[in-house]
């Protein structure tokens, strides 16, 4: 998926790898980890091989040439298809639910203990998000929205945990 993120950034303007990394960091703020530079270069290499971007060498004094990438027409088509189609797939993965259903069958764990431990785990995540939100400058709207989204997901997880407790315990 980093492929499409990079295509989107290149649709704005041609850039070299490090500029793309910086653009991701500036857009998503501290709330989201941006990929490391190696991953960006590997992805750009693959995009180039697939004909979605092209690179030109730009000379620099006293340093090796840098490669500036730009979007091809084919790359723009792929990007537009991604943007235009509804986003498929599950919104969350839930490994915990599998444990909750399967573990008691084998006698290796008790549902009540699984649920209460998981509840405390969610709350400690939530507590971290509270701290993160407090440290995020309110002007950083993208980061704020992302943290608030994460909080709402956690709240839903906790509500579901309670439903599981009512029904399964």
Question: Which residue among 93, 98, 106, 108 contacts another protein (CB under 8 A)?
Answer: 93
Residue with smaller CB distance to another protein, 65 or 155: 155
**Residue 83 makes contact with another protein by CB under 8 A:** no
Residue with smaller CB distance to another protein, 49 or 93: 93
Q: How many other C-beta atoms lie within 10 A of the C-beta of residue 100? A: 20
Stretch that binds another protein, among 7-15, 24-32, 37-45, 72-80 (CB under 8 A): 24-32
**Residue 119 makes contact with another protein by CB under 8 A:** yes
- Judged by CB under 8 A, the number of residues near another protein is 40
Q: What is each CA distance from 40 to 34, 65, 77, 91, 154, in whole angstroms?
A: 10, 18, 21, 25, 30
**Residue 27 makes contact with another protein by CB under 8 A:** no
Q: Which of residues 35-74 bind another protein (CB under 8 A)?
A: none
**Residue 141 makes contact with another protein by CB under 8 A:** no
Please report, for the chain, how many H helices and E strands are present, in that order.
7, 2
Question: Which residue among 120, 139, 140, 141 contacts another protein (CB under 8 A)?
Answer: 120
* Nearest one of 120, 97, 100 to 112, comparing CA atoms: 100
Residue with smaller CB distance to another protein, 58 or 145: 145
- With b for 16 or more beta-carbon neighbours within 10 A and e for fewer, the 41-76 pattern comes to bebbeebbeeebbebeeeeeeeeeeebbbebbeebe
């Amino acid at each position: 998926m980093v492929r499409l993120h990079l295509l989107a950034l290149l649709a704005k303007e041609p850039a070299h790898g490090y500029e793309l990394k910086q653009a991701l960091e500036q857009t998503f703020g501290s709330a989201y980890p941006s990929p490391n530079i190696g991953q960006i270069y590997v992805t750009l290499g693959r995009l180039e091989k697939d004909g979605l971007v092209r690179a030109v060498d730009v000379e620099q004094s006293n340093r090796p040439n840098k490669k500036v990438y730009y979007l091809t027409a084919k790359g723009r088509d792929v990007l537009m298809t991604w943007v235009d189609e509804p986003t498929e797939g599950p919104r969350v993965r839930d490994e915990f639910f599998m444990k909750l259903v399967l573990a008691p069958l084998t006698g290796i764990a008790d549902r009540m203990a699984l649920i209460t431990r998981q509840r405390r785990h969610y709350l400690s995540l939530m507590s971290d998000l509270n701290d993160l939100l407090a440290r995020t400058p309110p002007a950083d709207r993208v980061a704020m929205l992302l943290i608030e989204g994460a909080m709402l997901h956690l709240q839903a997880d906790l509500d579901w945990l309670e439903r599981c407790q009512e029904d399964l315990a």
